[in-house]
Amino acid sequence: MLSITDIWPLFGIKVTSPNLVMRIVRDEDIPGIAEAALAGIHDPATMPFSVPWTDEPREQMIKNMAKHQWKLRTTVRPDHWTLNFVILLDGVPIGTQSIGAKLFSLTKSVSSGSWLTANHQGKGYGKEMRAAILLFAFDYLGAEVAESGAAAWNEPSLGVSRSLGYRANGLKRVVGRPGQLTHMQELRLAAEDFARPTWNIAVEGFEAARNEVLLPAP
Ligand SMILES: CC(C)(COP(=O)(O)OP(=O)(O)OC[C@H]1O[C@@H](n2cnc3c(N)ncnc32)[C@H](O)[C@@H]1OP(=O)(O)O)[C@@H](O)C(=O)NCCC(=O)NCCS
């Protein structure tokens, strides 16, 4: 009998780091991700995201979050994708980590975004999940550059980037909340500058999913 992973091989990717397990978001993960988001991600006085999705009323926020997961899934094609991973701590979703690329075969560049539920922030998990996704991007996908960005005031996010070797790559003006200007610190990490962690990731399911995201070698 066919399994969902036979039909959608990306669901088979599993990245394990010392404390965390990362899997491409499945429908069964969505309620747990919603709970992690509803428990609170950031001080409502500020907005760390360039799309202010956490400002929506609770019911709408989790509905939109689910729609976002489904949209990401349906827009994956080789060379052009955003992969969103649920972050599991002892099997429980505590946040998400994404990497995305456009024309990856040419750019060899990925961008990333992440969040953790508030009571799991500041414990090193943000750094661990970004390091894990960078190991996956550089060592499995063959990325040469990783980009990121954070509001110029977002010290925890900038701290993660700084500690992994990213360098400042300019300031960008974006409008996050309607009518509200945010200065985004752009960041860039070349593979050779990556401050690699002392540990490595274990990856399952990548070979079966390779052709979903990478173009065949010429
Ligand atoms: C951004 C986020 C994912 C970071 O994860 P985290 O688990 O809180 O961060 P960590 O505990 O892994 O800290 C990583 C690094 O940043 C540093 N750091 C964390 N908080 C900091 C702060 N308030 N000020 C300065 N440095 C800080 C840590 O010291 C650590 O660096 P080190 O390894 O050199 O000591 C998390 O805080 C979060 O979800 N925030 C809300 C949503 C958000 O801002 N998402 C990102 C949008 S761009």
* Ligand 1 atom at minimal distance to the Cα of residue 159: 16
Going from N- to C-terminal start, the domains of the chain cover 4-212
Report whether CATH 1.20.1290.10 matches the domain 4-212: no
Question: What are the pLDDT digits (tens) for 59-99?
Answer: 999 999 999 999 999 999 999 999 999 999 999 999 999 99
The model carries a pTM of 0.97
Question: What are the pLDDT digits (tens) for 115-139?
Answer: 999 999 999 999 999 999 999 999 9
Q: Mutation test of ligand 1: which of 87, 119, 125, 127 has the most ligand atoms closer than 8 Å to its C-beta? A: 127
> What is the pLDDT, as a whole number, of residue 218?
75
Number of other CB atoms surrounding residue 165 within 10 Å = 17
Instruction: Please report, as a single letter, which amino acid is at residue 178.
Output: P
* Ligand 1 atom at minimal distance to the Cα of residue 115: 39
Average confidence score pLDDT of the chain: 97
Q: Can you name the residues that pair with 187 across neighbouring β-strands?
A: 148, 168
Gap between the Cα atoms of 33 and 52, Å rounded: 17
The CA distances from residue 88 to 9, 24, 36, 128, 129, in Å, are 20, 11, 11, 12, 10
> What is the pLDDT, as a whole number, of residue 176?
87
Pocket of ligand 1 (CB under 6 A): 41-42, 48-49, 114-116, 121-127, 150, 154-157, 159-160, 163
Cβ-based burial of 44 (10 A; exposed 0-12, middle 13-18, buried ≥19):
exposed
